[in-house]
Amino acid sequence: MKIGFIGLGNMGGPMAANLAAEGHDVIGFDMADVSIQGVTMAASGAEAATGADVVITMLPNGQILRAVADQVIPAMTAGAALVDCSTVDVDSARAVAEKCTAAGLLFVDAPVSGGIGGASAGTLTFMAGGSTDAFAAAKPLFDIMGQKAVHCGEAGAGQAAKICNNMILGVTMIATCEAFALADKLGLDRQKMFDVVSTSSGYSWTMNAYCPAPGVGPQSPSDNGYQPGFAAELMLKDLRLSQQAAQSADADTPMGELAQALYAQFVENEDGTGMDFSAMLPRFEKRSRG
Ligand code: NAD
């Protein structure tokens, strides 16, 4: 298959390398000067998209996705598929889907879960939105880059699933961190706290698999000085997307709103920039109630 791949950063780079390693003809483009094992670099997004069966994008946000889509859609062959794996707002995903349909192209929004480790290992989870035909066109590539692909519904459904998942993740991480900080102040040993909660009704992915307290639970960014991992500013971006969606859908999401405010405070006014999103724990430890 001929694949155009646009956006070869922390996530896109290893995803494109995995497709090339499976024998696909991968033509890449990135604004930055990058080189990826097995990927032939093009001079523009349009050049990478020309003659491709599938074009994959892995970009920072919806505004950039819309701009890139305007360049690549006219260069693509009718019947080809545009697969956006970035995390973007639902409206941008639907707007690009409409442009693809008008141009006779298939479109899938397919944001991922699994982070940089999953991108390198080819174990990402894809949550996809689009027609059955569009999902079928992308599925063989999801099978190379990931271990699971869920077809969530029509265009935009993948982004909807992603932002709902990450709203739960952000809220749960904050709850886990504030509980650890309370336990510390109550004189509870951290290992005992982990042993109880990880096997009790307070268990969660943030406690059991990504524990924000160093030295307890499996290895996580807390054991590495809170180097990301999943950066606090990316969590803030995703929480903002969920609140933007809640606003336009008229959904009441008070916990998501509070999580957004706390991550905004952490990233913009405290020392959260460049830290993993689990660094909320040392943040709570420094604070007192008043
Ligand atoms: P990144 O910043 O490392 O990569 C983005 C790449 O896009 C960069 O190389 C940049 O040069 C390129 N780019 C920007 N504008 C461009 C343009 N107009 N044309 C071509 N290339 C352009 O970011 P990342 O960590 O790879 O994340 C990409 C997407 O994946 C984001 O939407 C992010 O929210 C999502 N995501 C990231 C993670 C993670 O753990 N990093 C996990 C899940 C989802």
Question: For the stretch 228-246, what's the b/e string if a residue is b when 16 or more beta carbons lie within 10 angstroms of its beta carbon?
Answer: bbbbbbbbbbbbbbbbbbb
The three-state secondary structure class of 192 is helix
Ligand 1 binding pocket includes 109 (Cβ within 6 Å): no
Token pair for 199? 């096997």
Spans in the chain with pLDDT lower than 50: none
* Span 122-159, pLDDT tens digits: 999 999 999 999 999 999 999 999 999 999 999 999 99
Name the catalytic one among 162, 185, 192, 237: 162
Query: How many alpha carbons lie under 13 Å from residue 8 in its C-beta half-sphere?
Result: 31
Q: Summarize pLDDT for 201-221 with one digit per residue, the tens.
A: 999 999 999 999 999 999 999
pLDDT for 140 = 98
8 Cβ below 6 A of ligand 1: yes
Nearest ligand 1 atom, CA 13: 26
162 is catalytic: yes
Ligand 1 nearest-atom number relative to CA 228: 40
Residue 123: predicted pLDDT: 97
Tell me which residue of 256, 246, 253, 245 sits closest to 94, measured CA to CA. Answer: 245
